[in-house]
Structure 1
């Protein structure tokens, strides 16, 4: 910046050779005495040091020399005034740059410094150069700050003893704003502190020095490639024109502008930038969140989140990654890795496979399949030396030695390298798998992993996988899951949204379409609320599969306010190595206020299916209330069933089951428990046989009769009123779904009854 060049500003005073009439011995204001008038000054055309100069005798205590032309003072403009003087004889004076600050209209600007540093002349004939800087800003090196001045009359002051004969060379005034430009713009350049930027020299010390000196200004990383041989932390704002290179273990931290965009500028590579930003997030306590700045990050291979941090295997402090998008780039890095290996399983060690062949090839996070293996069983740990694999869940029927298949899906964000990771939050993040890969694999242990307002677009295998207890207290809120298998019939699909293994999971206000399963959930105290998951297809009389699979029988969970569309709730104990041992059996489940829908589904479709994997199982605590069951284009035989593929339930041990307040549309046989109805006996009989007509859930027995209320007079064969009290005999008929009302004599009439298939006590 130089106003002389850019704006044609004239700063240089006229030389003494052009006349002394414009050089004042006063303040330089119009009307003040000039050296041409006073006779005390003379122009000397030749001097051994100067090409023409002013000579005068100092006679006043402060002898002034001012240029009477108005030198403009502009905001943001800095002027350096330079003069060379010498004393020929007499007393040696002191000299300084000086001026008179003026405002528009010709008034004097008071209250400002109008003199520069004073210099003493110490010898005759010795040329002394003096200078001072005038400007509008209070900056280091500015001698005279004239913030409100419009112009000035600039020159010299001679102070000290009188009588000296002095000569003054032509005074120079130049625009040196460029010297202050970096300070004015708040910029510190790392090259000024020794940074080389050749990609070889270690510039970390220069980076630190520049940041230490910035003092609130922006640190500029000019063009170049800067190798950093150590970790660097910037306290001040930083801007990158060049890029940096550093080892995996070294960290780059930005305290002022900690966001993904800065890391992209720093490293010039989207994936590496995210890894280094995440590394800093877990190693720097001043920031709890990483803003992706709405950027799309193209990912060419799974991001190993623990390897990115390198120095931590556990982390349990709240951290957030938010506001961005990850997009998988097609390539072989996303291919599943499949290992077939023989192993031995024993229910005595229910979460271990032993004597595992080819164990070194099996990765943590692999899905395990084989005979007797339930859904969503993963490898949690691999002990190569001991040939032992630790599983996420127990196996229900895999005793002995057999061959298992271990399939390692590839995930965009893979946290499985951590032994424990708690309080991690993904917020407003879109993971675009595009049919190439899975989305998110969480750590084997941890609490409160949260996924809020996120988009999972077309995962090839899984959107979210839990391989252990890292899902304890997990929260999935307001997320959208879009399948890559929309055109595939529902029973042939293989992808799913998520699974869980631990307790206290909250899944709320989510939407999912066309997966095989919305969720496979083990653990208790879960809340599944206000979600819409639909798994239908275009097949006529289409086969429907479970949308929500609960694998803990005593689950203590609620399923409320959901739209369960062309799929069903399946309740199993497939993750139990001893499924014949009942324990608490099935119980603690509330299904309320949901909308169940079927379009073009097979009549055999059921919306609530209990599937026991061992004998002696029963239900103790099931509340199904206020739901809507509806079909389009066809009808459904009934809403609930027991899948007896492996075993049936003990109907004589059913307790605390409630089916009431539900609405049925297009359902052949509604379900109620208690079943309240009216029995009309048209001919006299002492034993009335009451058929529950398949209203009781799960084909249950007529076990408990709660009430018998006559609606009309009970009459005997003589048509006389009978006021005797009957009693009920439960569990009659071929299927135990009838009961008897026994009277002391043959009677007829009409009675309202309430019957249950369970024991409510």
Structure 2
């Protein structure tokens, strides 16, 4: 930058030959005394060293020489005054460059006005003096004037003994701001340190040298294509005008500009910038978050994160945030399908052996076939042994049979990690567009977190776990938007998420028209504040499960959710020996404070379905309290049932089953236990039959009588009051849902009888 060129600023003083009336013997201000007509000043038209010059005899203590023209001064600009002088005769003086600083109104600004003096030591020797004047206190600036002056009068002072005669060449004033560019603009260019930028020459050393020299300034990667053959870490701020090219395994770590904007500029496209930034996220500790800068990144195929970063295990917290990933149309998203014969034994419940064509079965493939529960995946394979490791056991597939393996494709695929802990994805939209699935988790891991995200139109799955990488999974405040919203509910196939391990926290999510919201194969889960709806516009529509729990004793809290046109299914379909055999049976489930709604469904619809895959199971620990059940555009028979397709429940072993304080609208039969039944006996009898079968959960047995309270007097046929108490016979009638009250005589009256379907202790 040189404003004498760019802005036309006039800096150079007039030559002495233009007249000494332009040169002052005072400060150079208007009205100050000029040298014109002075006996001690004369123009010399020709000098062997200077051509035209001024000859001046020193008569004053400080003999001043100032140009009376105003030299512009601006903040950030730097002026250099150059003077060439020689002694001719008489006493030898000292000389210094000097100036006077002025404001716009012409008043003086008190600033340093003289540079160091130089003594003239011989006659005829040309001495050159230079001084730089500018606003900033920088190395090399002789007169620091700050920002207040707007012009200056420049020249020299002669000091020392009087009487000497000197000759002075025309004074030069020039703009030298470019001397300070490197510091003023706060950048260091990689080309200044040897970078070539031809896309072929290895510029790694030049980048590292530039970064080392930055010292607080910004590294500028100026225009060009720079080949970096190995890892480069830039500790300074960096700005890319050019781009870089690196081998796939080499990493560029921009530690002060770790965001997608920087990496897009560095690598030329948002996709490659995203890949490179995600790669580096796993390799330095200065940053735990890779910010997509609110940008949309178009993906042409799945991102295999483990392969991208070259790791199989990572246990430190990392966060990917703030942007959108979008699947572009292409064959890379096509599902890979393999059919193979394999053998399954219940003694080795998570392995298939003797797998034909095992090499072609991809890890992460979903397994389907007879006796295979929902959401069972290939977690690992051993080609040499011909085996596949399964994410869950198979409930009814013992023997040798044919299985189908379907490998869905995901925007972000973490399945290459043998272990991945504490990875988080926040404020990100996974825009699958019906072309791809969303996320596949690592084989093993802790507390993978997805928060404040949108998983939009996944082709097959939103979030998939193929192993225990879902241990402690956290899914908070996300939206799952199905790609099958116009499809009848019974024909949908997409699933929002599944988990195999324990302790999932799934909270405050909104899930729209999937086949199923969640299939949970672990225990210790908390589902709080979610709204999932799976309805359609079909008359008497068929509904699918919204939440499937595949462990019998699942220790799960389901609270404050809005369950809309779908149901909760409780199954043991991931049990290799599904018949009850002294293990913990169905229990540990709390359903409280939820809203259950359905519209336009068949009367057979139910909101809670228990599906035992083998006989002998029972319920030990179920609390359904404080919920609202409402049906519109029709009514349903009741809210719960046992799916007896494979087996029923053993009602004789129910324990700690509570259905209470619920609200029922357009539900023909209420479900209550303990239930208090008012029985009015009009005809005197010794046996009163109290029928609670319709009220008891799952149409279970009347196993316990908690209380019998007479309402009014109990009387004989002659209206004689009796004060006897009856005893109760439970599990009466064909359905065992009745209780017999046995009196010592024929009596009539009214009682309140509290029945339970279980043994409470």
TM-score in terms of structure 1 length: 0.96
Aligned-pair CA distance for 1:31 = 5.6
Aligned residue for 2:739? 739
1:100-249 alignment runs, 5 A limit: 100-110=100-110, 112-116=111-115, 125-147=124-146, 148-158=148-158, 165-249=165-249
1:390-401 alignment runs, 5 A limit: 390-401=389-400
Matches of 1:289 and 1:364, distance apart in 2? 29
Aligned residue for 1:501? 500
Aligned-pair CA distance for 1:165 = 4.2
Which has the larger displacement, 458-467 or 745-754? 745-754
Aligned-pair CA distance for 1:37 = 4.2
| Runs of 5+ consecutive residues of structure 2 not aligned to the other structure | none
Matches of 2:553 and 2:160, distance apart in 1? 102
Aligned residue for 1:448? 447
Matches of 2:38 and 2:230, distance apart in 1? 70
Aligned residue for 1:254? 254
Matches of 1:758 and 1:637, distance apart in 2? 22
Aligned residue for 2:628? 628
1:232-631 alignment runs, 5 A limit: 232-310=232-310, 312-580=311-579, 581-631=581-631
Q: 2:87, 2:166 within 8 Å by CA — same for their partners in 1?
A: yes
Matches of 1:44 and 1:287, distance apart in 2? 70
Residues 719, 31 of structure 1: alpha-carbon distance in 2 compared, 3 angstrom cutoff:
closer
Matches of 2:339 and 2:126, distance apart in 1? 93
Q: After superposition, give the CA deviation of every residue in 1:30-77 in whole Å (9 maximum; x if it has no partner).
A: 565544344222211112332311123456675443223232222222
Give the number of aligned pairs.
759
Aligned residue for 1:13? 13
Secondary structure at the counterpart of residue 292 of structure 1: strand
Residues 605, 30 of structure 1: alpha-carbon distance in 2 compared, 3 angstrom cutoff:
closer
Residues 193, 95 of structure 1: alpha-carbon distance in 2 compared, 3 angstrom cutoff:
farther
Q: 2:693, 2:702 within 8 Å by CA — same for their partners in 1?
A: no
Residues 20, 232 of structure 1: alpha-carbon distance in 2 compared, 3 angstrom cutoff:
same
Aligned-pair CA distance for 1:95 = 4.1
Aligned-pair CA distance for 1:380 = 1.2
Secondary structure at the counterpart of residue 191 of structure 1: helix
Q: 2:492, 2:514 within 8 Å by CA — same for their partners in 1?
A: yes
Q: 1:189, 1:221 within 8 Å by CA — same for their partners in 2?
A: yes
Secondary structure at the counterpart of residue 471 of structure 1: strand
Aligned residue for 1:723? 723
Matches of 2:534 and 2:498, distance apart in 1? 17
Q: 2:693, 2:736 within 8 Å by CA — same for their partners in 1?
A: no
Secondary structure at the counterpart of residue 113 of structure 2: coil
Q: After superposition, give the CA deviation of every residue in 1:412-459 in whole Å (9 maximum; x if it has no partner).
A: 011111111111111111010010010111111111111111101100
Q: 1:582, 1:616 within 8 Å by CA — same for their partners in 2?
A: no
Matches of 1:441 and 1:450, distance apart in 2? 13
Matches of 2:119 and 2:312, distance apart in 1? 69
Q: 1:582, 1:617 within 8 Å by CA — same for their partners in 2?
A: no
Matches of 1:714 and 1:107, distance apart in 2? 117
Matches of 1:469 and 1:496, distance apart in 2? 18
Matches of 1:527 and 1:678, distance apart in 2? 38
1:611-760 alignment runs, 5 A limit: 611-760=611-760
Q: 2:693, 2:699 within 8 Å by CA — same for their partners in 1?
A: no
Q: After superposition, give the CA deviation of every residue in 1:139-169 in whole Å (9 maximum; x if it has no partner).
A: 2322211113232221123456766543221
Which has the larger displacement, 213-222 or 363-372? 213-222
Which has the larger displacement, 396-405 or 736-745? 396-405
Q: 1:636, 1:666 within 8 Å by CA — same for their partners in 2?
A: yes
Aligned-pair CA distance for 1:92 = 5.9
Q: After superposition, give the CA deviation of every residue in 1:602-636 in whole Å (9 maximum; x if it has no partner).
A: 21111101011122111000001111111122221
Matches of 1:177 and 1:704, distance apart in 2? 97
Matches of 1:150 and 1:692, distance apart in 2? 100
Q: 2:424, 2:449 within 8 Å by CA — same for their partners in 1?
A: yes
Q: CA RMSD in A?
A: 2.0
Secondary structure at the counterpart of residue 283 of structure 1: coil
TM-score in terms of structure 2 length: 0.96
Q: After superposition, give the CA deviation of every residue in 1:179-213 in whole Å (9 maximum; x if it has no partner).
A: 43453232322222222211112222222232333
Aligned-pair CA distance for 1:506 = 1.0
Aligned-pair CA distance for 1:659 = 0.6
Aligned-pair CA distance for 1:116 = 3.4
Matches of 1:105 and 1:150, distance apart in 2? 10
Residues 689, 106 of structure 1: alpha-carbon distance in 2 compared, 3 angstrom cutoff:
closer
Matches of 1:166 and 1:660, distance apart in 2? 113
Matches of 2:89 and 2:445, distance apart in 1? 89
Residues 118, 409 of structure 1: alpha-carbon distance in 2 compared, 3 angstrom cutoff:
farther
Q: 1:275, 1:309 within 8 Å by CA — same for their partners in 2?
A: no
Q: After superposition, give the CA deviation of every residue in 1:202-238 in whole Å (9 maximum; x if it has no partner).
A: 2222222323333333322211111112322233322
Matches of 2:482 and 2:91, distance apart in 1? 97
Q: 1:615, 1:647 within 8 Å by CA — same for their partners in 2?
A: yes
Matches of 1:202 and 1:221, distance apart in 2? 14
Secondary structure at the counterpart of residue 294 of structure 1: strand
Matches of 1:119 and 1:252, distance apart in 2? 53
Q: After superposition, give the CA deviation of every residue in 1:482-533 in whole Å (9 maximum; x if it has no partner).
A: 1111121111111010001111111111111111100000111111111111
Which has the larger displacement, 76-85 or 570-579? 76-85
Which has the larger displacement, 236-245 or 412-421? 236-245
Aligned-pair CA distance for 1:367 = 0.8
Matches of 1:119 and 1:733, distance apart in 2? 125
Q: After superposition, give the CA deviation of every residue in 1:369-409 in whole Å (9 maximum; x if it has no partner).
A: 12211111111112222222211111111222222211110
Matches of 1:56 and 1:106, distance apart in 2? 28
Q: 1:80, 1:176 within 8 Å by CA — same for their partners in 2?
A: yes
Residues 121, 251 of structure 1: alpha-carbon distance in 2 compared, 3 angstrom cutoff:
farther
Q: 2:693, 2:735 within 8 Å by CA — same for their partners in 1?
A: no
